[in-house]
Structure 1
Amino acid sequence: MVRIAVISDIHGNLLALNEVIKNIKNKNISQVYCLGDLVDFAPWSNDVISFFRNSGIPCLLGNHDERIAFDLPLFPLLHHDNYETKNRFEAINHSKKHINLENKEWLGSLPYQFELVYKINDSYKKILLVHASLDRNDEYVYEADDKQKMYSVLKEKEVDALVMGHTHQSYVQQFSDILFVNSGSVGRSKEIDRKATYSILTLDENSIKAEIIKIDYPIEEVASAIYSSEIPNFYGDFLLKK
């Protein structure tokens, strides 16, 4: 049996990340992967990047990481109103200003996907890790979305499970013989409870199973740190569901 933990979408929230890593260690899981989006929206983006640089945890390039690494231009998102768009621009520009050059260069070196193949007795299990979707690191794939097109591609590649992030909404969904998992968000969950969220995959020779883990963290302390920073209060209010 093999167990792996998959975390995603830290978004500068070091306090949430610390609690998740502690929980993973308490479960004696040694294999951990990160799907990216280390930066933006909380005050510790440099600290979060430094953690991953020193931890040895393999990490993908999220869309926010890519924007910071390569100083990509900002565009409004269709699902954001004018107020959120203004705050988003301010928060990302804050990251562009404050994340140091060495960390930006490291972000720019990250891969887009991981393909993991495990041999368990006489059985092979293949897991594909992406930040957002098969084709892009900024495409939203929700539980209610049709998976048939993705299924066909994954079936051709002999993939048994696809693990994603980006939406900040976790789920485990079996579609025919392929498992679809969204690991949710460690640092900026869009779920009602706002808890730090990640996934654990358990592999044996017969199956791959997944569970979503939710962790409490000092969310009021994070919000207070946001309020004390140059990051818009919008992001503290969001965590506190104001």
Structure 2
Amino acid sequence: MNMLQIAVFSDVHGNLPALDAVLEDIKKRGIEQKFCLGDLVDFAPWGNEVIGKIRDLNIPCLMGNHDERIAFDIPVVPLSKHSEEETNARFIAINHSRKNITEENKKFLSALPFHLKLNYKIGKRHWNIQLVHSSLSSNDTYLYETENDEVFVDMLKESQSDIVVMGHTHLSFKKSFENKKWVVNCGSVGRSKEENRLASYLILNLHREEIIPEIVQISYPLEQVVHGIEESEIPDYYAAFLRNKTVSVI
């Protein structure tokens, strides 16, 4: 085998149409290996359906901070970066998940792993891939592309990996380092904070001599999701957000 492709996605946030579009795109490319970095719930009305699809397809998935909150009924803490409008909407949306996610699905979320370390052998080369939701020590740390490089270099060293892949911020990026190492954020499937609001995921192309990360962004039936939110008890704030008609504090 000279090359292997792996798909990694994150932050679906109850957006089933976006997840379906991403999974269909992965299927069309003939990629068999798929991994999810967590945050299956909150902000769109298909949390149970999203969890069900991940379970039915046996896609390995990490425990995102939203998954952990719903699984263990952790109190919601206001975030200083959010406006009063977003803070109020966030409380209502998360409480919607608390009421509607089934006990069986909460149990599933409670058993998800925190990290996942992969090792693939291509020819004579072993590639070590570290999957996290947001960082090695937390699933609720915000690491952006503008972060000091030392933070990412330390993550690569601590995890003893060739590439660290994360989600959580809903903003994709790729950063390359010495010795063909990478830190990549795969973006968000269901609640992108990028201007185009497209569903984002990552393809890792594993070759004998290098890893080539490719961020893929695709459209999905956004208006279907908007209408689904508007017809649910989830605040319309999240519908307007997907249409990029509100300014979210990142």
Alignment TM-score, normalising by the size of structure 2: 0.95
| Equivalent position of 2:248 in the other structure | none
Residue 208 of structure 2 corresponds to residue 205 of structure 1: yes
Cα distance, 1:92 vs structure 2 = 0.2
Change beyond 3 A, Cα 1:156–1:49:
closer
The equivalent of 1:141 in structure 2 is 143
In structure 2, give the amino acid aligned to 1:186.
Answer: V
Counterpart of 1:67 in structure 2 is: 69
Instruction: Work out the CA distance in 1 between the residues paired with 2:154 and 2:9.
Output: 26
Partner of 1:6: 8
Greater CA drift, 66-75 or 138-147:
138-147
- Distance change in 2, residues 1:70/1:163 (3 Å): same
CA deviations on 1:33-85 (whole Å, 9 max, x unpaired) are: 00000000001000000111111110000000000000000101121011110
User: Where in structure 2 are the equivalents of 1:70-219 lying within 5 Å?
Assistant: 70-177=72-179, 178-219=181-222
Deviations along 1:150-182, one digit per CA (max 9) or x if unpaired, are 413422543100000000000111022320110
Q: 1:42 aligns with which of 41, 44, 58?
A: 44
Q: 2:227 matched to which residue of 1?
A: 224
Q: What is the distance in 1 between the residues matched to 2:226 and 2:119? A: 40
The answer on whether the counterparts of 2:71 and 2:106 sit within 8 Å (CA) in structure 1 is yes
Change (3 A) 1:156 1:226: closer
* More moved, 155-164 vs 11-20: 155-164
8 Å Cα contact 1:134/1:150 also seen in 2: no
Q: 1:191, 1:20 → 2: CA distance?
A: 16
Kept in 1: contact 2:200–2:217 (CA 8 A): yes
Count of residue correspondences: 242
Gaps of 5+ in 1: none
- The RMSD of aligned alpha carbons is 0.9
CA gap of 1:220–1:156, structure 2 versus 1, over 3 A, is closer
Cα distance in 1, alignment partners of residues 21 and 94 from structure 2: 25
Q: Which amino acid aligns with 2:71?
A: A
Runs of 4+ in 1 over 3 A off after TM superposition: none
* Aligned partner of residue 128 in structure 1, secondary structure: strand
Stretches of structure 2 that go unaligned for 5 or more consecutive residues are: 246-250
